[in-house]
Amino acid sequence: MHIPKHFEEHSLSEKQGLIRSQPLGSLITHSSAGLNANHIPFVYQDEPGPLGVLQAHVPRFNSLLEDIHSNAEVLVIFHGANGYISPNWYASKKESGKVVPTWNYQVVHVSGTAQIIDDRNWVLAQMESLTAQQEAGFVTPWKIDDAPADYTDKLLNSLLGVEISITRLEGKTKASQNQPAANRASVIAGLSEQGSDNSQALAVQVARKDH
């Protein structure tokens, strides 16, 4: 990934936070037919260090598993808020007219080595972690134990675990850092007027990088 210095995300906690808030990752592997992409929800674990691991589960019949041999190198991409930035929002448009559209976004690339885990207890623990992660915001969180035991038992027989030991975490936050203060302020205003959750999140990113 090309990362200009002013867009590089140095904060480890910021990168970890994006993965946890947007856990659906695009897992890129090498297959016999070329590059392969699968979209899978992950749980990020801090340990073991130094960068931690990503954990997921997939059906045994998923062709992805053919791409993963012992310590296979993989890439997982996580996307945060993103959106179009209109040149009409730039305060400098009135001064020179020398403005063009762009796209602001936040992304994290996770490189690592993957392995398949054929262990019912591991898969069950991963399912419980993923469910707890996603149900945390509900008044009455659903739990794996809420499903009939025989149903869960049958499901576990059909799944395998995937664990990725992280070797590199790259982050890019493109949030108008290359613009003068007046343009950043007007971009925040323009995004805020859009009203969507995504545009509001993007406005927050621009404000946080406003320094």
Q: How many structural domains are present in the chain?
A: 1
- Give ∠ CA 112-115-118 in degrees, rounded to 5: 155
> What is the CATH classification number for the domain harbouring 127?
2.30.110.10
Region 100-112 average pLDDT: 96
Q: Is 202 a member of any domain?
A: no
Q: Is 110 a member of any domain?
A: yes
How does pLDDT run across 80-91, given as a tens digit for each residue?
999 999 999 988
Question: Distance between CA 20 and CA 39 in Å, rounded?
Answer: 15
| Average confidence score pLDDT of the chain | 93
- Give ∠ CA 30-22-149 in degrees, rounded to 5: 85
Q: Is 199 a member of any domain?
A: no
Question: Distance between CA 35 and CA 54 in Å, rounded?
Answer: 20
pTM score of the predicted model: 0.92
Q: Is 98 a member of any domain?
A: yes
